[in-house]
Structure 1
Amino acid sequence: MTVEVERKFVCDAEIMGKLQDIGAKCIGQRQFRDQYFDSPNFILTLKDFWLRCREGLWELKCPAVSGTTAGNDTDALCTRYREITSLPLIQSEVSRIIRECAAEGRESNSSQREQIDKVAENEDTEICSADDTKWLDDLNLVCFAEFKTERRSYTLEREASVVRVDLDQADFGYCVGEIEVLVPEGVDMNAALQRIAGIAEELGLSSEKKVNGKMHVYLQRYRPEHYAELLSARIL
């Protein structure tokens, strides 16, 4: 399992020229559609778990322990998520989170409580294929966000490792860049953070504040209730 260490930045008109100047290699451009799923009362995202289907491929992003010095400016500007891409493991992890939520007694809606109790009682829930969405119904998961992204991707080689830069244009009018390094789970992330900070410096990016991602902006615009809950829980 890998951990995605990522820093977002504001795209400007000169960004592609800057990437070329520092030796970035363009590896292609593509469009994809993302769908994100959660329970009606946001069980997953309130625990900072993000369940996504991208063009038929499932991924669960899980919060990762930083392992870096608290208060570090570079650390504060980056996000860190473990990535699970095996569908059976995703289904197992999501079921576990829902069972834990039921045990904590957080459900107040009786119909939702009955649904979660059903999942909690059946720990051997049938594992479904990627194109079978029955497991979403069984776990009472619904799509809360859906949008398309036009992405241009670059790679840079730094210190015998590869740093990836993505430039994203979402179909709801938001453009954002991402500097990303993947590291094996359990490995110290300081080296990854330093590489990201180095690329940001080469690109002349400001380090004053964290830049919002596509999901942050989407929820703020189109799901204000969900957005407010996540702000209150300090997830966003």
Structure 2
Amino acid sequence: MDSIEFYNTYKRVPQPAALTTELPRNNSFFQRTWQKHNKEIYAVQGTNGHVTINPSLTISPMIEIEKKFHFTPEQEAKIIASATFLGEKIQTDTYYDTLDFVLTCKDIWLRNRNGRFEIKTPLHVLGNKMALTQYREIETDEETCEVLHLPPCTLTNEILAQAGYAPFSTITTTRKRYQDEPYSIDLDSCDLGDGHPYLVAEIEIMTEENQKEEAAKKLVDYAVGKGFSIDYIRGKLLEYLYRHSPEHYKALVDAGVIYVPTIE
């Protein structure tokens, strides 16, 4: 996009091996929610109020496009005015690394979310400010142990400590979720432990891969229409490091994990 530096995450959604499932409603939001939950995108057609898998259709690769924004109570009010409220939840994330930041300097993010260990590994090349950031999200102990070069086990704080991994950040997030077709919107109030909540909106759209640039522009236009600024912002964890651990933050900048835009 000509004049917009767009910092976002594109997530590829794998194709299904078999097309045999029927979805109970012909509703685009329900379809997307079901598809994302199963990490698969299917070709569908409406049949008597149901959504039926059509194995004869050619399936185009689908990706999620998302962008983060700061938000204010006034911008939240604009979202509420047109969107459907889907619910609210609280999640606590504790992130782990070695004392010399071995994982995060490779853009690998190990966390415990509400009692379950997860890890994200990069699919993109570090150090390219224009590259799309893509991650593989792993949610099983077996695969997480493999990434960490540990023998198969049920992960615990004790096992991680023995391997040299220690917590470096705990963030509690209150998330409100909205739907404003075709956009999914998360409004996060993040407790970074210093009494100053960090407010981050994340807007997401699903699209075919060959339409990602057009979809990204539409997403930005939608956000601007709601009063959001398209300026670069830090995600909640990077904001935590920026506030509380400047040495760690600088190491990630030097490693090419964080791109800090130049102000001209």
- TM-score, normalised to structure 2, is 0.62
| CA distance, structure 2, for counterparts of residue 25 and residue 192 of structure 1 | 21
Q: Secondary structure at the match of 2:96?
A: strand
The structure-2 alpha-carbon separation of the partners of 1:4 and 1:235, relative to structure 1 and needing over 3 Å to count, comes to farther
Measured at CA, do residues 89 and 193 of structure 1 come closer, stay the same or move farther in structure 2, by a change above 3 Å?
A: farther
Structure 1 residue 195 displacement after superposition = 5.0
Partner of 2:163: 139
CA contact (8 A) 1:8 1:176 kept: no
- Percent of residue pairs bearing the same amino acid type: 27
CA distance in structure 2 between the partners assigned to 1:182 and 1:89 by the alignment: 28
Q: Relative to structure 1, is the Cα distance of residues 149 and 27 closer, same or farther in structure 2, using a 3 angstrom cutoff?
A: same
**Amino acid paired to 2:152:** I
- Once residues 154 and 257 of structure 2 are traced to their aligned partners in structure 1, the CA distance between those partners, rounded to angstroms, is 30
Shift in alpha-carbon separation, 1:40–1:4, aligned structure 2, 3 A: farther
Aligned to 1:176: 199
Amino acid at match of 2:189: D
Q: Work out which of the residue numbers 252, 255, 259 in structure 2 matches 1:230.
A: 252
Q: Which runs of 5+ in 2 are unaligned?
A: 1-11, 14-62, 259-264
CA distance in 1, matches of 2:71, 2:179: 17
Residue 176 of structure 1 aligns to a residue whose secondary structure is: strand
Between Structure 1 and Structure 2, which shows a larger proportion of helix residues? 1
- Would you say the 8 A contact 1:11–1:175 is kept in 2? no
Q: Which of 67, 73, 80 is the equivalent residue of 1:7?
A: 67
Aligned to 2:222: 199
Q: Is residue 166 of structure 1 aligned with residue 220 of structure 2?
A: no
Cα separation, 1, equivalents of 2:227 and 2:174: 24
Corresponding residue number in structure 1 for 2:141? 87
Distance in structure 2 (CA, Å) of the matches to 1:135 and 1:183: 38
Return the alpha-carbon distance in structure 1 between the equivalents of residues 240 and 249 of structure 2: 9
Task: Report if aligned partners of 1:156, 1:163 keep a CA contact under 8 Å in 2.
Answer: yes
Residues 221 and 144 (structure 1), Cα distance of their counterparts in 2 relative to 1, 3 Å cut: same
Q: Would you say the 8 A contact 1:174–1:214 is kept in 2? A: no
Q: Shift of residue 134 of structure 1?
A: 4.3
Q: Given the alignment of the two structures, is residue 151 of structure 1 paired with residue 175 of structure 2, yes or no?
A: yes
Q: 2:114 aligns with which of 55, 62, 85?
A: 55
Match of 2:23 in 1: none
Q: How many residues are paired up?
A: 192
CA–CA separation in structure 1 for the residues paired with 2:175 and 2:70: 14
Summarize deviations over 1:25-73 as a string: whole Å, max 9, x none: 222222222100011111110011111111112221222339xxx85xx
Structure 1 runs not aligned, ≥5 long: 96-124
TM-score by length of 1: 0.68
Indicate the RMSD between aligned Cα atoms, in angstroms.
3.0
8 Å contact from structure 1 (residues 32, 150) kept in 2: yes
